[in-house]
Structure 1
Amino acid sequence: MSIADGIFIDMCKDILENGVSTEGEKVRPKWEDGSDAYTIKRFGVVNRYDLSKEFPALTLRRTAIKSCVDEMLWIWQKKSNNIHELNSHIWDSWADETGSIGKAYGYQMAVKHQYKEGLMDQVDRVIYDLKNNPYSRRIMTNLYVHQDLSEMNLYPCAYSVTFNCTKEKDSNQFTLNAILNQRSQDVLAANNWNVCQYAVLVHMLAQVCDMKVGELVHVIADAHIYDRHVPLIQELIQREPMDAPDFWLNPDIKDFYEFTVNDVRLDNYQTGPQITNIPIAV
Structure 2
Amino acid sequence: MTHYEQQYLDLLRDVWTRGDERRDRTGVGTRSLFGPTLRFDLSDDRIPLLTTKRVAWKTAAREMLWFLTGDTNIRELVRQKVHIWTDWPLDRFRRETGETIDRDAFEARVLADDEFAARWGDLGPVYGKQWVAWDTYEPVGDGLYWRGTPVNQIAELVQAIRTNPTSRRLLFTGWNVAELGGMALPPCHMTYQYHVAGGRLSGMLWQRSCDLGLGFAFNAFSAAMLLRMLALQCDLEPGELVWSAGDAHVYLNHAHLVEATLTREPRSDPRLRIKRRPASIFDYAIEDFEVEGYDPHPHIAAPVAV
- Scaled to the shorter chain, the TM-score interval is 0.7 to 0.9
Count of aligned pairs between the two proteins: 262
Note if 1:122 corresponds to 2:153.
yes
* Equivalent residues of 2:33, 2:248 under 8 A apart: yes
Cα shift at 1:255: 2.4
Structure with the bigger percentage of helix? 2
Q: Secondary structure at the match of 2:37?
A: strand
Equivalent pairs: percent with the same residue? 31
Question: Is the Cα contact below 8 Å between 2:194 and 2:201 reproduced in 1?
Answer: yes
Given that 1:207 and 1:254 are in contact with CA atoms closer than 8 Å, whether structure 2 keeps it comes out as no
Q: What is the aligned counterpart of 1:110 among 132, 152, 165?
A: 132
Partners of 2:60 and 2:2 lie apart in 1 by 20
Q: Which amino acid aligns with 2:188?
A: C
Of 200, 219, 235, which residue of structure 2 is paired with 1:210? Answer: 235
CA-to-aligned-CA distance 1:130-180 (integer Å, 9 cap, x gap) = 11111111011111111111111211111110111112xxxxxx2111110
**Based on CA coordinates, which of the two structures has the bigger radius of gyration?**
2
Give the unaligned 5+ runs of structure 1. Answer: 30-35, 168-173
Counterpart in 2 of 1:170?
A: none
Pairwise CA RMSD: 1.9
Residue 123 of structure 2 is aligned to residue 91 of structure 1: no
**1:33 maps to which residue?**
none
Q: What per-residue deviation string (whole Å, max 9, x for no partner) do you get for residues 174-231 of structure 1?
A: 2111110111111111111110001010111101110000111111101111111022
| Structure 1 Cα separation of the partners of residues 173 and 2 of structure 2 | 31
TM-score w.r.t. the length of structure 2 is: 0.81
**Structure 1 residue 2, shift from structure 2 partner:** 7.1
Q: Which residue of 2 is the match for residue 171 of structure 1? A: none
Query: Does 2:10 align with 1:10?
Result: yes
- After the TM superposition, which of the residue ranges 236-245 and 199-208 deviates more from structure 2? 236-245
Q: Does 1:185 align with 2:179?
A: no
Aligned residue identity for 1:148: E
Write the mapping of 1:245-264 to structure 2, written as runs, cut at 5 A.
Answer: 245-264=270-289
1:79 is displaced (CA, Å) by 1.3
The superposition leaves residues 210-256 of structure 1 with CA deviations (integer Å, 9 ceiling, x where unpaired) of 00001111111011111110221111121121121122111343521
Inter-partner Cα distance in structure 1 for 2:153 and 2:53: 34
Aligned to 1:66: 58
Displacement of 1:3 in angstroms is 2.9
Alignment of 1:13-92 (within 5 A): 13-22=13-22, 25=23, 27-29=24-26, 36-52=27-43, 54-75=46-67, 77-86=68-77, 87=80, 88-92=82-86
Cα 1:111–1:242 change in 2 (3 A) is: same
Q: Which amino acid aligns with 2:62?
A: D
Q: What's the CA shift for 1:264?
A: 0.9
Judge conservation of contact 1:40–1:225 (CA < 8 Å) in 2: yes
User: Which ranges of structure 2 fall in alignment gaps of 5 or more residues?
Assistant: 93-118, 137-148
1:120 CA displacement: 4.4
Question: Residue type of the partner of 1:281?
Answer: A
Cα deviation 1:73-105 (Å, max 9, x = unaligned): 111x21111111223111112236441110111
Aligned partner (choices 248, 251, 254) of residue 226 of structure 1:
251
Looking at structure 2, the residues matched to 246 and 252 of structure 1 have their Cα atoms a distance apart, in angstroms, of 17
Q: Distance in 2 between matches of 1:224 and 1:42?
A: 6
Moved over 4 A (4+): none
Separation of aligned partners in 2, 1:260 and 1:233: 34
Q: Matched residues in 2 for 1:119 and 1:231: separation? A: 45
Matched residues in 2 for 1:130 and 1:189: separation?
32
